[in-house]
Amino acid sequence: IRQLRKRGKNNRALLVKDAHKLTADFISELPFSLTRAQQRVIDEIFSDLGRKTAMQRLLQGDVGSGKTIIAALAALATLRAGHQVALMAPTELLAEQHLQTLSKWLSPLNINISLLTGKLPAAQKRNILGAMSNGETQLVIGTHALFQDDTRFLHLGLIIVDEQHRFGVHQRLALREKGRHGKYTPHQLIMTATPIPRTLAMTAYADLDTSIIDELPPGRQPVETAVMPDAKRHEIIQAVQKACLDGRQVYWVCTLIEESEALQCQAAEVTAGTLSEALDGLNVGLIHGRMKSTEKESVMEDFRAGDTDVLVATTVIEVGVDVPNASLMIIENAERLGLAQLHQLRGRVGRGSTASACVLMYQGKLSANGRARLSAMRETSDGFEIARRDLELRGPGELLGTRQTGLLQLRIADLSRDADLLEQVPSLAVEIEAESPNMVPLLLRRWAGDVMSYGDV
């Protein structure tokens, strides 16, 4: 890890001097003041941006901790220093939401923003690609379409990746390659809401420095979580009705064990139909992955505006979606989901100042593991604690998923079992470097040969 980082420090970057000054006017106009954790993280990022070597920073902050404003500030400083910025999100829905949020914040400052997703009509896409490559587009927000073959930037200064756990390590590095120009490498800010235990972060994100937002904005109340069998559906629907009559908004999430998107969408359609009948006088909306982008946008728009009371959704809303007035979440088949996913889904509520609740519905008899997961959800809303339990229940490989196993694969150590030993490793590494420098290349070749060339990308 030390060796990989040393190499990373050779990447020259475009300077962003005086980032604090470049953003002071914007910060003073915000409708809220930054939390202490947000300020600390901003200081860390701004000091990186002011260096000649490319920032490679992982920003961990639990769901709802306010990462978007951090992204906006890093972007604004870079833009005002005269460089381009790319923001990549894992879903169209989230890219679209970021476009809205960032346009609201940055368009009044005459920042030119474009959206690039895979589904754009060809002519429109050509225009945006043109504007990116000639520098007219300053900030581009998009999905993985951002690192496809035909994208070019003029002088990309900063890459921001939101919900990094949804992308693979390769995709992140591919986007960085896109942005290289001459001897310059763009700064990288990698954001994730899925907290991972420190020992795991050490290996999965070996090449990154870490910042943590460990504080939620003021006024948030913990989401009260209940676990209920499907047999209580009728009562749950009554609770939904009552919540809506009180002016609250509700997500009803349909999940299925099969990864088949078609089946998931179908289930959501059926549920939307039955809820619509059961909830007389209330507006029930529907959103799923098979709808056209424009349809999805208008559904989200209605929900955001408060015109829709209940939004029936597939897991398309899992990451990033931010509608603070929504304060009740129902998740069907919760026993089949992993802890990280449940935590993300539940994170869609509890984003405003109203007390929020989440109902985890399950079918049939719970397995021991399923019961352990649902209990964990009921007992804690702390993302780090949930990640720790997830690591225990599933092991590191599954926790990160195959796309996310990271730069370093451990051959012998077990991250849960050996956590205390791993703590001692960094100082031992320093010792070996100092006392037996000749051993370093040999050890690396023996234990991490493939990784070292990979880290070079």
Residue 3 or 192 having the CB closest to ligand ADP: 192
Degrees to nearest 5, angle at CA 48 with 46 and 50:
70
Report helix, strand or coil for 188. strand
- Binding residue (CB under 5 A) for Mg ion from 66, 142, 179, 320: 320
Contact between 270 and 264 (Cβ < 8 Å): no
Q: Is 383 in the site for Mg ion (CB under 5 A)?
A: no
Nearest distance in Å: CB 157, ligand ADP: 22
Nearest distance in Å: CB 312, Mg ion: 22
Q: Take residue 123 and report the two structure tokens written for it.
A: 């002519």
- Binding residue (CB under 6 A) for ligand ADP from 34, 237, 393, 410: 34
- Residues within window 323-362 making contact with ligand ADP, judged by CB under 6 A: 324, 351
Q: Is 32 in the site for ligand ADP (CB under 6 A)?
A: yes
The neighbouring-strand residues paired with 102 are none
Residue 320 or 406 having the CB closest to Mg ion: 320
Q: Is 15 in the site for ligand ADP (CB under 6 A)?
A: no
Element (H, E) at 426: helix 425-435
What is the end-to-end Cα distance of the chain in Å, rounded? 15
- Residues 185-214, one symbol each (x = binds ligand ADP by CB under 6 A, - = not), give --------x---------------------
Say which entry of ligand ADP, Mg ion, none residue 289 contacts (CB below 5 to 8 A, set by partner kind).
none
Rounded distance, CA 57 to CA 78, Å?
15
* Number of residues counted as binding ligand ADP (CB under 6 A): 17
Q: Is 61 in the site for ligand ADP (CB under 6 A)?
A: yes
**Alpha carbon 83 to chain centroid, angstroms:** 24
Using CB positions, name the residue nearest to Mg ion: 320
The neighbouring-strand residues paired with 140 are 86, 114
Nearest distance in Å: CB 381, Mg ion: 17
Strands 310-313 and 284-287: parallel
Rounded distance, CA 104 to CA 131, Å?
21
Neighbours of 87 (CB within 10 A): 27
Nearest distance in Å: CB 183, ligand ADP: 33
Q: Is 381 in the site for ligand ADP (CB under 6 A)?
A: no
Q: How far is CA 335 from CA 32, 288, 352, 364, 379, in A?
A: 37, 21, 27, 10, 15
Binding site for ligand ADP (CB under 6 A): 32, 34-35, 38, 61, 63-69, 193, 217, 322, 324, 351
